[in-house]
């Protein structure tokens, strides 16, 4: 069997990070761990925690670190992520979260952090067109809608625009992303964990680029 991987995928909202994370998790047979998906599931379930998370999410702000770090650790405890690995999507978002992840994994470490790079004008266009299943979270767009009437192909749920995909919230999230991620990228670069991969072009090409990058890193013995 193909060896597993402990991978962190960074990228602005709309960079295609979520789609690529799912594909990479399938390819390397590891878990896809998306904090955004976990928070949205809590919101849908209507839990007390979901109600609190929603206030941050709707305004594009980050959910507080201690809550986020707790939920990620709990998820990583499950289902063999320590043995085969994971693709982390949306976490860490700042240096404090990265440090907590590193402490949690010790004496192991992540293999690689990939920054999926896409120009801001491209992501603004993609986000305005993005639609998502309100039930299972599958992504669509106005250009690639579900087969029938905004009904999800996977689960028959209603396909809608995300509450935080309004222009104001998108700009706020991009601003926050920029502010928090620049130090995070520097932090991982210092530890020689970082590779930058171009996220523009057809999704299949981007996936091949990502897999090549990961395989090359592994061949180099990281
Ligand atoms: P995403 O789908 O990754 O854009 O996440 C949607 C929202 O969930 C973000 O705007 C934050 O409010 C929250 N969120 C996701 N991941 C994190 C994280 N690592 N730290 C704090 N908040 C997060």
Measure the CA–CA gap between 116 and 23, rounded to whole angstroms: 14
Please tell me the distance between residue 191's alpha carbon and the centre of ligand 1 in angstroms.
24
User: For residue 79, what pLDDT band results from cuts at 50, 70 and 90?
Assistant: low
Average pLDDT, whole number, for the chain?
A: 91
Residue 137 Cα to chain centre, angstroms? 13
Ligand 1 contacts (CB < 6 A) are 13, 35-36, 39, 56-57, 60-63, 68, 90-91, 93, 97, 164, 173
Which pair of structure tokens corresponds to residue 193?
A: 């964990």
Q: What is the DSSP string of 103-116?
A: HHHTTS--SEEEEE
Q: Mean pLDDT across the stretch 138-151?
A: 93
Q: Which domains does the chain have, with CATH numbers?
A: 6-220 (3.40.50.300)
Nearest in space to 43 (alpha carbons), one of 137, 130, 129: 137
Residue 6 φ/ψ, nearest 5 degrees: -110, 105
Whether 205 has a pLDDT exceeding 70, the answer reads yes
pLDDT in tens, 39-50: 999 998 999 889
Q: Give the global pTM.
A: 0.86
Position 222 scores a pLDDT of 57
- Strand pairing class (159-160; 130-133): antiparallel
């Amino acid at each position: 069997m193909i060896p597993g991987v402990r991978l962190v995928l960074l990228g602005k909202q709309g960079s295609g990070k979520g789609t690529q994370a799912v594909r990479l998790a399938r390819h390397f047979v590891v878990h896809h761990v998306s904090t955004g998906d976990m928070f949205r599931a809590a919101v849908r379930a209507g839990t007390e925690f979901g109600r609190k998370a929603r206030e941050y999410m709707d305004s594009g702000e980050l959910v507080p670190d201690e809550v986020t770090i707790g939920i990620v650790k709990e998820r990583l405890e499950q289902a063999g992520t320590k043995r085969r690995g994971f693709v982390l999507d949306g976490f860490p978002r700042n240096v404090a979260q990265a440090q907590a992840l590193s402490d949690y994994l010790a004496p192991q470490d992540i293999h690689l952090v990939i920054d999926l790079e896409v120009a801001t004008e491209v992501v603004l266009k993609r986000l305005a067109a993005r639609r998502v299943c309100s039930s299972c979270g599958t992504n669509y767009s106005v250009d690639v809608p579900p087969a029938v009437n905004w009904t999800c192909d996977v689960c028959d749920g209603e396909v809608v625009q995300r509450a935080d995909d309004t222009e104001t919230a998108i700009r706020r999230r991009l601003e926050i992303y920029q502010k928090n991620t620049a130090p995070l990228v520097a932090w991982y670069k210092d530890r020689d964990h970082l590779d930058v991969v171009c996220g523009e072009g057809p999704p299949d090409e981007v996936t091949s680029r990502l897999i090549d990058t990961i395989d090359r890193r592994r061949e180099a013995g990281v």
